Amino acid sequence: MQKHILVLGGSNEGFALAKTLQGHKNYTITSSLAGRTSLPKKPVGPYRIGGFGGSEGLKHYINTNKIDAIIDATHPFAQNITKNAAKAAGDTKCPLLHIWRPQWKRAAKDNWIEVPTMQAAAERLTKHHAPIFLTIGRLELAAFLPRTDLAFITRAIEPNQNEQWPKNFHFIYAKGPFDYNQELALIKKYNIKAIVTKNSGGPGAFAKIEVARTLNLPVIMINRPPKPKGNLASTPEEALNWLTNTF
C-alpha cells in the first residue's frame, strides 16, 4: 500500500521532491504551500495552499488525510511552520524529516557583516551603506522603518495594495532566481552600496553575493536560526533516501 507523504514546500527542494515522487509506486505525495503570493509556482502533482491553523490544525490535517510521513522542505528562516511540524508530528507519532540546506560560506574576498537578527541589521547600517538593497522578502521589512535617514531599494515578488511605505523605500518587483548579470545590472542601476540578505543558502539567491564579492560591496548577512532537531537531510536526494529507509 502506498504511503501518503506531506511535503511542506514552496522551496526548490519541495518542488524537486514533488517532481521526483510523482507516480512513485510506493508513495503518494501532497505538497503544501504557504500561499504568500497571488500566483505561486505550482508543484507537480496534488497540492494545497495556506496555513493549517497552527500545530493543532496540522495535527487535524495529518489525521484526516492519513499522512504517513512529513518532509519539511520549507525555507530555513520559516521557523513557525517548522516548529508546528515538529509538535504535530510528535503528537501524532508521524515520522518527520527537515531539509536543512547548507548555508552560504564566507569566502576570502567577501565583505560580510554577520548579524543575528533583522533588527541588528537595521541598527548596523550607516549612511555609507546607502542606497541599500534589501533582499529579505517583505514580511520583516518593518525592522528598517526606524531608519528614516537611509534610502532602501526593496525587492518583493509583487505589490501589496494594503501596505504603505515611506518614501525612503523604493520597491522593485521581481521573482527569482536571478543570475549574475541581472543582479549586476540592478546593483549598478541603483548605485547600491550595500546588500542586506538572509543566509538562505542554495543557488537561487546566490548571484547577488557573487556580485557583491566582485564589487567589494558590504553584505549585511543575517545568520541562520538554530537548526531543527530530529531527522535532517541537506538535499531532496537525501530526503528520498530517508523515505526509502523509513518505509
Q: Between 75 and 129, whose beta carbon lies closer to ligand NAP?
A: 75
For the bound state, the minimum distance from the C-beta of residue 227 to ligand NAP, rounded and expressed in Å, comes to 15
**Does residue 32 touch ligand NAP according to CB under 6 A?**
yes
**Does residue 225 touch ligand NAP according to CB under 6 A?**
no
For the bound state, the minimum distance from the C-beta of residue 80 to ligand NAP, rounded and expressed in Å, comes to 3
Separation between Cα atoms, residue 236 and residue 13, nearest integer Å: 6
Contact with ligand NAP (CB under 6 A) among 2, 41, 42, 57: 57
Residues of this chain, 67-96, that bind ligand NAP according to CB under 6 A? 74-75, 77-81, 84
For the bound state, the minimum distance from the C-beta of residue 170 to ligand NAP, rounded and expressed in Å, comes to 19
Closest CA to 73 of 7, 139, 29: 7
Contact with ligand NAP (CB under 6 A) among 19, 22, 34, 119: 34
* Three-state SS letters, the chain: CCEEEEEECCCHHHHHHHHHHCCCCCEEEEEEECCCCCCCCCCCCCEEECCCCHHHHHHHHHHHCCCCEEEECCCCCCHHHHHHHHHHHHHHCCCEEEECCCCCCCCCCCCEEEECCHHHHHHHCCHHHCCEEEECCCCCHHHHCCCCCCCEEEEECCCCCCCCCCCCEEEEECCCCCCHHHHHHHHHHCCCCEEEEECCCCCCCCHHHHHHHHHCCCEEEECCCCCCCCEEECCHHHHHHHHHHHC
Contact with ligand NAP (CB under 6 A) among 15, 52, 133, 169: 52
Contact with ligand NAP (CB under 6 A) among 8, 132, 219, 233: 8
Q: Between 33 and 193, whose beta carbon lies closer to ligand NAP?
A: 33
For the bound state, the minimum distance from the C-beta of residue 108 to ligand NAP, rounded and expressed in Å, comes to 28
**Does residue 184 touch ligand NAP according to CB under 6 A?**
no
Size of the site for ligand NAP (CB under 6 A): 24
**Does residue 43 touch ligand NAP according to CB under 6 A?**
no
Separation between Cα atoms, residue 30 and residue 7, nearest integer Å: 6
Q: Residues in the site for ligand NAP, rule: CB under 6 A?
A: 8-10, 32-34, 36, 51-54, 57-58, 74-75, 77-81, 84, 137, 139-140
